[in-house]
Structure 1
Amino acid sequence: MSDSKNVIALVPAAGVSRRMGQPKLLMQLGNQRVIDHLVTSLVHPAVERVLVLVRPDDDELQAALRPYSHVDVITPPDSPAEMRESVSLLLKACERHHGGGWMLIPADSPWIEHRVLDRLIVAWRETPVNIVVPVHDGRRGHPTIFPASLNSEIELIPPDRGLNYLLHSRPERVVEVKCPEVSVLCDLDTPEDFERLKQMWKPESD
């Protein structure tokens, strides 16, 4: 049964990894692929479901996600051109779930620690009408929790702007949560990013 105190995790994963030079979500990080680390880290009591948007022609990624029972793979007829379109498609797909909010995790941010999720969920449950974003060393990172009450505003974001536009246009609705974990700033775009992550990687199970 859905719980308004829980969130739906939305993972846009329709990129083509141009700067990485190979499918970054299928790269090996320790004993698992990047996408495996991400979806297993989202097994959390407050995360009701994980919805991952994948390009319709990305057979390898679809196959990689198939074994995970807590994951719904969303494959639109056409590949979305931008992040905002991906999020809109994911929001439509999660309408059948009734969590009180949704958590946005870019697929190339695989280092999600449970203690970070715990902290963000506590902050969001205290102020469920607000956007909750982690901050490390003065920089905002991922994941970000959005209240369902702001869903309609996603479509109003200018076509050339990302979801950060919503944070900048609604500063009174943003709650920043300080996190000592550098993992909230993890972002995989280039081979250099991947090498840095491998150097810092400390899975919670270790």
Structure 2
Amino acid sequence: MNATGRVVAIVLAAGSSRRMGGRNKLLLPFGDQPLVRHVVTTILDSQAAPVVVVLGYEAAAVREALANLPVAFVYNPRYAEGMTTSIQAGVAAAPADAHGYMICLSDLPLIEASEYDQLIEAFQRAYVRDPACIIVPEFNGQRGNPVLFAAYYRKAILSEQRLTGCRGLVQRHPEHVVRVAMATDHILQDLDTPEAFEALRRIH
């Protein structure tokens, strides 16, 4: 990896899947493995390093689903308060020499390793010009995930008060945002409901 663009993947795997009808969506089968293992394995195939997985709800079961994968785990005791607390736990656990954080959702199973790499490479190019860059993927003008933040924002992320993620941080720094047009809608295809899960699994 380019020494001026080391990107840590922070995988948010702490949520309680409230809209999934009582099932932990991360443990549901996707292909021949649990959804979370499919997603994390794909991220491991990308240029991101290391990969930090944030646990919370049913932490032991999620950890077991990721057994023997070369990832670092961090437990977020505040996971029920909102996504921001998990992002903060992951950023706090990231190596001090990281140049950027790729905030990965664990329910976007269609994103391919090459698409993660496209975003990492966009970060590396932007970082040379702007060490405060933020990379936002888009498909047909619609923003998706993962978003990549330069380590410049570490303190801002750790002190963020909004509990729904770091969207506000993106909105407050439009001059540093680099939008990356993606060729597919994979960055938008999250699985929040049983219907979405079954529809996506049928075509996978």
- Name the stretch that deviates more: 166-175 or 80-89: 80-89
Please, which of 153, 171, 193 is the counterpart of residue 190 of structure 1?
Answer: 193
- Structure 1 residue 163: Cα displacement: 0.7
- Aligned residue number for residue 141 of structure 2: 138
CA contact (8 A) 1:29 1:198 kept: yes
CA RMSD of the aligned region, Å? Answer: 2.1
Aligned residues: 199
After superposition, give the CA deviation of every residue in 1:145-170 in whole Å (9 maximum; x if it has no partner).
Answer: 11001111114433355311111111
SS in 1 for 2:84: helix
For 2:201 and 2:67, how far apart are their aligned partners in 1? 26
In the alignment, structure 1 segments of 5+ residues that lack a partner are 202-206
User: Is the helix fraction higher in 1 or 2?
Assistant: 2
- Aligned residue number for residue 184 of structure 2: 181
TM-score after normalising by structure 1: 0.87
User: Which amino acid in 2 is paired with 1:98?
Assistant: D
After superposition, give the CA deviation of every residue in 1:69-92 in whole Å (9 maximum; x if it has no partner).
Answer: 2x1111245545111111111111
- Structure 1 residue 197: Cα displacement: 1.7
Does residue 50 (structure 1) correspond to residue 30 (structure 2)? The answer is: no
After superposition, give the CA deviation of every residue in 1:87-140 in whole Å (9 maximum; x if it has no partner).
Answer: 11111111x352211100112223221221222122111111211111001111
In the alignment, structure 2 segments of 5+ residues that lack a partner are none
- Aligned residue number for residue 204 of structure 1: none
- Aligned residue number for residue 33 of structure 2: 32
CA contact (8 A) 2:137 2:181 kept: yes
TM-score after normalising by structure 2: 0.88
Q: CA 1:190–1:61 in structure 2 vs 1: closer, same or farther (change >3 Å)?
A: same
**Which contiguous aligned blocks of 4+ residues in structure 1 show a shift greater than 6 angstroms?**
none
For 1:45 and 1:34, how far apart are their aligned partners in 2? 17
For 1:119 and 1:76, how far apart are their aligned partners in 2? 29
SS in 2 for 1:132: strand
Q: CA 1:98–1:36 in structure 2 vs 1: closer, same or farther (change >3 Å)?
A: same
CA contact (8 A) 1:8 1:47 kept: yes
SS in 2 for 1:42: helix
Identity, % of aligned pairs? 33
- Aligned residue number for residue 156 of structure 2: 153
Matches within 5 A, 1:89-104: 89-94=89-94, 96-104=95-103
